[in-house]
A and B are shown apart, each in its own frame.
Chain A
């Protein structure tokens, strides 16, 4: 009798939403990576004539008063299909943007894309990935090992145009000047000209977001008094192309 077992590993996808969580993903209480912006969502392999270089900007939420150091990180595990590359952290690019509940930290790094012979092209789209890593360490708020991959298409591939767009995202509700209290509806508008869907992600300090991946959802409860900060991110499902929006509010 023929037995087909494609099901079992794909059930991992189901577990993503169904498993219990000891604490909430969206709640920022320590150093938390938010995403990585790439100046090139997709890129072609380097050639001797035209080396390809990607500049990555790493974003993280940082509790007030703490400091961060950034260094190259090599993942302990090896990957099949992807090509590891060494990220160069660009000195002097670290910056902190103050917000009500936490600071927004960012730092840049440079990634050299290998030539075609060093890459493994796979899948229906015939793309390769170049993997990088960075480690952010604080004095009091823990550390984050951030890894990711840049998507590479062969020279001349149509995806180098169709997927080249960076998304935009904006929090449209509540209004920037709104005074919040209790359960609050939150809405973000995201768009891209690239040929991919976008995945959204909300971050807050305190309270729960009913569905942190939804464009419109509820934040409940907002902190009863004082300053609160709301972050929403968007990333391309195929390229990881990234954008974020951060707004500060006052809770009553």
Chain B
């Protein structure tokens, strides 16, 4: 209901003034009676004609507005309670009451309209956003290369609105449009750690749909580190992405739905429970692309059957206590794909080959955070999981089932002043049932063809254990903070352990500037298949990397801050194919570069950032080889991201991405393989791997969001266009059948989309 505003009749205004004066006088006399002084007779108080209960709520959600200010015609102010309610004694006569809360538009109501009613609900519209106040995020323990992005920012600008893909837009990261995977300072997608709180999910992204498995409504922020991270994280040489779950309880239940044609729909429900002290949330997402795609393919005449599907379900419970909290999460996620396609490798009379893939996991985790005494606090986070993977490709089969338990424990001790001691440990145990019939992959064998290579068979049950501990301390010496730490570890597939020493430091130059840096060793165990006795080499060693980081952070104002870093990373012991031992540790990578991050902090109106990375990644495949360009080597990467709230119900935003083209290995000539009836590429004798480069890539994605507010519900329409570019961008190269012609594989044209979300 639109608010109305009347001009006061001059007489009413005079009467009001008189009333206010008399009320004030009465109050004064009541407060300061003096013995023997006759009190001035008080002016008569205005007559109360009725009493009404006002319930003030936010339009669009119906959430009660506590401490909303009710101003009566006589100037008297009342405040609503936590439930948004207040009892108002309506004075006689005409007039208006004003209802207001910062962040909402004021609402005026005529007293005549309220008179005679017991209860009236008043819905406040959101106010025009201001740029006056920076929304403060919680402070995190500083680390050299860590960035934290709130969920509110991430769902606006991240690809697909998926918070887990926000790292693609941050410095130090290389990415590709159609993949959620990231390359962090030269380290491949499998060399970074993704966690939800303290849990390693078997997979964090749906392979079909490229969304993360956790819905954004359950998250609070995304923390990302490109290197130099503390000793609480390990077994990776790249970066660390941590999705933190929420730690707040809503005041009212909320139901949300999302419809994304033609991909998937999502339902989400949250409610306060236990007398409003705890949060219970549930979520379901499911694709329906498998219903649309066959129709599209049939219409296009493609001789192809594609049936992809994905989904996930979650339950989340948050129980705050006086000295901490308990969180429980239960997750089930699955992906699948069935393909039937014409293939040279097909062995059936139809000439078609099949590809079937299904992966799923269930995980239940508990996090118990508690302050033990004035000095000690702890976090205990056990989880159990089950993960099934089935892949059938023509006549190759892979069936791996893994179940296990991981217990994570963290202790923090306050020492004197700001000094801290951190101790922790992580124990994992798993059981894997493995059945594989597949060829041993040899990427160095030019005759290698997965369709005809000799197959190996593995059928076994394997147990594995993992153990890691960490000790670190924050030590302040004047304006210098030192954080030395050490992380011992053991991974059973390596049959040996090790330890990683690390040091983070920060020096506060002045109020606005701090120097920072990190140096440390970051080790990673080889993948299970690389140490398998049939498909790999059980004698492989740990992959070791050394990180060196130096940077400066500057807070230019409360709105603007910048972070400039240089880094150098050396990784030794990378796993490579070997004609004798199947796998070896001869590979080496050197990554170095410079990063710039300029951030516009979040206000109601605006947020955004610029991220630029310059890097060089060089690889060596054997000690005697020369260094060559790396597989992941986007020399320049630039991201510009922003969101601007035009009005309380309109948002505009977008992201611009530019990066140097990806590298690839050029083909010098080809041979016809008579056994396979196909042509195979050959490099020249002196051809270096990844000696060619695609053209530079750029992409602009823009959107507008419009909220439609009802009293207790809201619809949000999002209109956008993705993949805007001056021309369709080269995503890769494709060769004709005999490699006599090479053309670029171009990405999709601009894709307009419409998305509808609802909240009740």
Instruction: Give the B-binding residues of A (Cβ under 8 A).
Output: 1-7, 9-14, 16-25, 33, 35-36, 58, 75-82, 122-125, 127, 131, 133, 144-149, 197-201, 210-217, 233, 235, 237-238, 240, 242
B451 to A33, Cβ gap below 8 A? Answer: no
Which residue of A4, A36, A131, A212 is within 8 Å of B529 (Cβ)? A4
Tell me the smallest distance from the CB of A18 to a CB of chain B, in Å. 6
A79 to B445, Cβ gap below 8 A? Answer: yes
B454 to A125, Cβ gap below 8 A? Answer: yes
Chain A residues with CB below 8 A from B455, complex form: 123-124
User: What are 10 residue pairs bridging A and B, where the CB atoms are less than 8 Å apart in the complex?
Assistant: A4-B389, A6-B391, A12-B450, A17-B341, A75-B446, A145-B670, A145-B672, A200-B349, A211-B352, A216-B349
By beta carbon, the residue of chain A nearest B347 is A197
Chain B residues with CB below 8 A from A146, complex form: 671-672, 674
A10-B393 in contact given A75-B682, A233-B677, A242-B674 (Cβ < 8 Å):
yes
New contact pairs (15) apart from A2-B430, A80-B448, A149-B447, CB-CB < 8 Å: A1-B404, A1-B428, A4-B402, A9-B450, A13-B393, A13-B450, A16-B345, A17-B352, A18-B341, A25-B737, A35-B677, A58-B674, A123-B454, A124-B454, A212-B351
B447 to A79, Cβ gap below 8 A? Answer: yes
Is residue B457 within 8 Å, beta carbon to beta carbon, of the partner chain? yes
A211-B342 in contact given A1-B202, A125-B454, A146-B674 (Cβ < 8 Å):
yes
A82 to B734, CA, bound (A): 28
A214-B671 in contact given A7-B398, A9-B443 (Cβ < 8 Å):
no
Instruction: Give the A-binding residues of B (Cβ under 8 A).
Output: 190, 200-202, 303-304, 339, 341-347, 349-353, 355, 357, 385, 387, 389, 391, 393-394, 396, 398, 400, 402, 404, 406, 428, 430, 432, 436-439, 441-448, 450-457, 464, 527-529, 535, 579, 669-678, 680, 682-685, 734-737, 741, 743, 745
By beta carbon, the residue of chain B nearest A35 is B674
By beta carbon, the residue of chain B nearest A214 is B351
By beta carbon, the residue of chain B nearest A75 is B671
A3-B190 in contact given A79-B447, A237-B452 (Cβ < 8 Å):
yes
Q: Choose among A2, A19, A33, A213 the residue with the greatest number of B CB atoms under 10 Å from its CB.
A: A2
A199 to B344, Cβ gap below 8 A? Answer: yes
8 tightest A-B CB contacts, nearest first: A123-B454, A213-B351, A214-B351, A148-B674, A17-B343, A77-B446, A240-B675, A80-B579
Chain B residues with CB below 8 A from A214, complex form: 342, 349-352
Which residue of B342, B357, B389 is within 8 Å of A213 (Cβ)? B342
Chain A residues with CB below 8 A from B347, complex form: 197-199, 237
Q: Choose among A3, A127, A148, A201 the residue with the greatest number of B CB atoms under 10 Å from its CB.
A: A3
Chain B residues with CB below 8 A from A12, complex form: 450
Chain A residues with CB below 8 A from B669, complex form: 76, 145
A48 to B743, CA, bound (A): 52
B391 to A10, Cβ gap below 8 A? Answer: yes
A180 to B339, CA, bound (A): 34
B674 to A240, Cβ gap below 8 A? Answer: yes
Which residue of B351, B671, B677 is within 8 Å of A211 (Cβ)? B351
Chain B residues with CB below 8 A from A233, complex form: 677
A234 to B678, CA, bound (A): 13
Chain A residues with CB below 8 A from B439, complex form: 123
By beta carbon, the residue of chain B nearest A197 is B347
Tell me the smallest distance from the CB of A155 to a CB of chain B, in Å. 19
By beta carbon, the residue of chain B nearest A238 is B452
B341 to A21, Cβ gap below 8 A? Answer: no
A124 to B534, CA, bound (A): 11
By beta carbon, the residue of chain B nearest A12 is B450
Tell me the smallest distance from the CB of B440 to a CB of chain A, in Å. 8
Which residue of B391, B448, B674, B737 is within 8 Å of A7 (Cβ)? B391
A16 to B343, Cβ gap below 8 A? Answer: yes
Chain A residues with CB below 8 A from B737, complex form: 21, 23-25
Chain A residues with CB below 8 A from B674, complex form: 33, 35-36, 58, 146-148, 235, 240, 242
B683 to A14, Cβ gap below 8 A? Answer: no
Chain B residues with CB below 8 A from A14, complex form: 339, 341, 355, 393
A97 to B736, CA, bound (A): 28
A147-B673 in contact given A12-B450, A79-B446 (Cβ < 8 Å):
yes
Tell me the smallest distance from the CB of B225 to a CB of chain A, in Å. 19
A2 to B402, Cβ gap below 8 A? Answer: yes
Tell me the smallest distance from the CB of B448 to a CB of chain A, in Å. 8
Tell me the smallest distance from the CB of B577 to a CB of chain A, in Å. 8
A6-B445 in contact given A13-B394, A80-B579, A216-B349 (Cβ < 8 Å):
no
A133 to B682, CA, bound (A): 14
By beta carbon, the residue of chain A nearest B673 is A147
A199 to B347, CA, bound (A): 6
By beta carbon, the residue of chain A nearest B740 is A142
B346 to A213, Cβ gap below 8 A? Answer: yes
A10 to B443, CA, bound (A): 12
A145 to B350, Cβ gap below 8 A? Answer: no
A9 to B527, Cβ gap below 8 A? Answer: no
Chain B residues with CB below 8 A from A210, complex form: 303
Chain B residues with CB below 8 A from A19, complex form: 734
A51 to B406, CA, bound (A): 61
Tell me the smallest distance from the CB of A10 to a CB of chain B, in Å. 5
A147 to B349, Cβ gap below 8 A? Answer: no
Q: Choose among B200, B352, B389, B677 the residue with the greatest number of A CB atoms under 10 Å from its CB.
A: B677
A1 to B200, Cβ gap below 8 A? Answer: yes
Tell me the smallest distance from the CB of A141 to a CB of chain B, in Å. 12
B743 to A10, Cβ gap below 8 A? Answer: no
By beta carbon, the residue of chain B nearest A217 is B351
A36 to B342, CA, bound (A): 23
Chain B residues with CB below 8 A from A131, complex form: 447
By beta carbon, the residue of chain A nearest B446 is A77
A214 to B349, CA, bound (A): 5
A235 to B452, CA, bound (A): 12
By beta carbon, the residue of chain A nearest B449 is A12
Tell me the smallest distance from the CB of A2 to a CB of chain B, in Å. 5
Tell me the smallest distance from the CB of A114 to a CB of chain B, in Å. 17
A240 to B391, CA, bound (A): 26
B344 to A213, Cβ gap below 8 A? Answer: yes
A80 to B351, Cβ gap below 8 A? Answer: no
A77 to B683, Cβ gap below 8 A? Answer: yes
Which residue of A23, A76, A144, A242 is within 8 Å of B672 (Cβ)? A144
Which residue of B343, B349, B442, B529 is within 8 Å of A5 (Cβ)? B529
By beta carbon, the residue of chain B nearest A20 is B734
B349 to A215, Cβ gap below 8 A? Answer: yes
Chain A residues with CB below 8 A from B535, complex form: 6
Tell me the smallest distance from the CB of A183 to a CB of chain B, in Å. 12
Chain A residues with CB below 8 A from B443, complex form: 9
Tell me the smallest distance from the CB of A87 to a CB of chain B, in Å. 12
Tell me the smallest distance from the CB of B428 to a CB of chain A, in Å. 7
A125 to B457, CA, bound (A): 11
A77 to B685, CA, bound (A): 8
